Amino acid sequence: MPKYLREMKIIIDDKIPYIRGAFEGVAEVVYLPGSKTTPEIAKDADAIVTRTRTICNEKLLAGSSVKFIATATIGYDHIDTDYCDAAGIKWTNAPGCNSKSVEQYIASTLMVLAERKNLQLKDLTIGIVGVGNVGSKVARICELFGMKILLNDPPRERAEGSAAFVSLKQVMDEADIITLHVPLNMKGEDATFHLGNEEFLSNLKRKPILINSCRGEVVDTMAIKAALKNNQISGFVCDCWENEPDIDLELLALTEIATPHIAGYSKDGKATGTEMSVHAISQFFGLGLESWQPSGVEQPINPVFELDGAGLTEQEIISKAILHTYDIRNDDQDFRKNTAQFEQLRGDYPTRREFPAFTIIPKNVEEKTWQVLKKLGFVVH
């Protein structure tokens, strides 16, 4: 019998999908909006399962019985880890849980940009800043697209050597597109707060397109607005914003593509983050739920589709496949029409499934092209 059977209290963000029923047999469970988790509610809780909207710091946790915090997200800058460590509160995040979702987001972004701006991706250089769980997957798809890839990751370079990595200056000098996939570090030699500042933006040699799908504070809002107005960059794709949900509407109007922090919001990624959180709490408290798995993950619309490549280039065929699974323009349009509904757009985000949930029946598609589709993750018949 688990040590904490029916004695526990677990607070769970009510927007975490597929988790209802996981703990009900072993604990009292309280579901709340992330912003409604207060010190009074947390006082007699044993564990918190959260997303980024619950700030887990001394103000929330001091004097509480909380022993463990699990965030079903990659990022954990909403957790005051120094305080938790000092207070003996264990915590965990879900590294890599939504990395394939962000991969899909970037793939859709690149295909839309290519179509809008008449770009041949195989002729372009992309700089990937931050090559962890997400950045490494983005590098993989960009390689499949035939792009030249520049990888910048100082912590990895120090640990692994410089053979695979380049300096940030080289990215700034040579990249046609720069995509950011770094954690938010406020200080230290690997600080990323306002990495995209006035100095960075004014020294970009090729007027690249900049993509931010990691953390809003990695880019300085005032500096990026000035860079767009002064034509220092060719465009800005923004999923993560400073001061969410109270975002800068002038910046929104200037962006090429804008979305409400949903790059990692595939149902697959959410299910994985939920599963990792449940397993972590179960292991810590000895609840016996280490084999628990989410159920009820929604099926996509048209999961099996014919792809006719007659008269299309390889890039156009790949674009059709990717945009069938996820067309970022829909999120962009919804966001621009409902800018005041930032949190609602995230909370009620529609079903998005990753590439492996789709089966392609190719017609008039060369083998080398459908091999690329298979490597992307599609089932190809």
Residues assigned a catalytic role: 215, 244, 261
Q: What phi-psi label fits residue 152: left (phi over 0), alpha (psi between -120 and 50 degrees) or beta?
A: beta
Task: Determine contact, residues 57/38, Cβ cutoff 8 Å.
Answer: no
Using DSSP bridges, classify how beta strands 359-363 and 8-13 pair: parallel, antiparallel or unpaired.
Answer: unpaired
Q: Which string of b and e fits 345-358 if b means at least 16 CB within 10 Å?
A: bbeebeebbbbebb
Neighbours of 230 (CB within 10 A): 10
Angle at 78 between CA 75 and CA 82, to 5 degrees: 100
CA-wise closest residue to 309 among 244, 377, 223, 368: 368
Q: How far apart are CA 70 and CA 278, in angstroms?
A: 8
Indicate the length of the chain as a whole number: 381
Query: 3-state DSSP helix/strand/coil percent for the chain, to nearest 5?
Result: 40, 15, 45
Q: How many CA atoms lie within 13 A of 158 on its CB side?
A: 4
Phi and psi, residue 12, nearest 5°: -130, 130
